[in-house]
Chains A and B, each alone.
Chain A
């Protein structure tokens, strides 16, 4: 299986194909994510879901870019998917039905950027705590805005 066969067979589901240091990069619209990933897993053997993260481009529209990485164990090939979601409705389909590892990672992206994963019922904060206001990894969150849970001591 070479990257060429992915590009030819899945043509129509993605918008652009590129190369990044030997890794195939596919850019696609958010609606095509779940069908594309399902076909990648079942037909091309991308059994290991490595990573999902997001990048914030505040000046661009749509604002957020959600980036996925996959690894096909049988063929020893990696793959990156990029999709963009706007700030007004930052929703993307969840991959928890296909990969169990997606759960924790989607929770992290949700609390750090505010991106909602449709279908993931468990989007509790994982690295931050209940009561934290805001999404820290967005570019407009100042780095030293602390939200302490315990009152500071005045003297001792």
Chain B
């Protein structure tokens, strides 16, 4: 039995390792944070080292939705549609103060945080955040992805350890 536990934890680690180092982001870029996203994907602060460089501009083929910039009420149906079109497993990174909580725009047009419409896994504050913060966020997200459990056998589903 201990052998089975050992194998299933190794299986979980393998799946986690594969998933975390091959993230396909969908950069939903709207505003100023997009400039920092371009910087963080370029040579000086590289996301390619973390496996998260190749953006897939279609929700069907991506697994990390990066909400970069302000989401207005006009844009909210679009982002909801894009999120719904993504397949499991999917994660959402709210990039910047505007995506996290509306930023310093408190008016009739701005959605006060994208988590009012879609669930967010990791928030990056900043206006715009420094590229190092984005890389830190991606690394924390990778830790969370690595720690996910993927129970397939019946005995695994008994006591799930959620990290």
Partner-B contacts on A (CB < 8 A): 127-129, 136, 141, 143-150, 152-153, 156
Contacts and interface: CB of A to CB of B under 8 A. Distances in A.
Contacts of B117: 150, 152-153
A149 B73 contact: yes
Q: Which 10 A-B pairs have the closest CB atoms?
A: A156-B119, A129-B74, A150-B76, A152-B116, A143-B107, A150-B117, A136-B108, A150-B80, A149-B77, A148-B73
A127 B74 CA distance: 9
Contacts of B109: 127-128, 136, 146
A153 B115 contact: yes
Chain B interface secondary structure, helix, strand, loop or mixed? loop
Interface of B: 73-74, 76-77, 80, 106-109, 111-112, 115-119
A127 B80 CA distance: 20
Contacts of B77: 149-150
Given A143-B106, A144-B107, A153 B73 contact: no
A141 B111 CA distance: 18
B122 to A, nearest CB: 14
Given A152-B116, A156-B119, A129 B107 contact: no
Contacts of B76: 148-150
Nearest to B119: A156
Contacts of A156: 115, 119
A145 B108 contact: yes
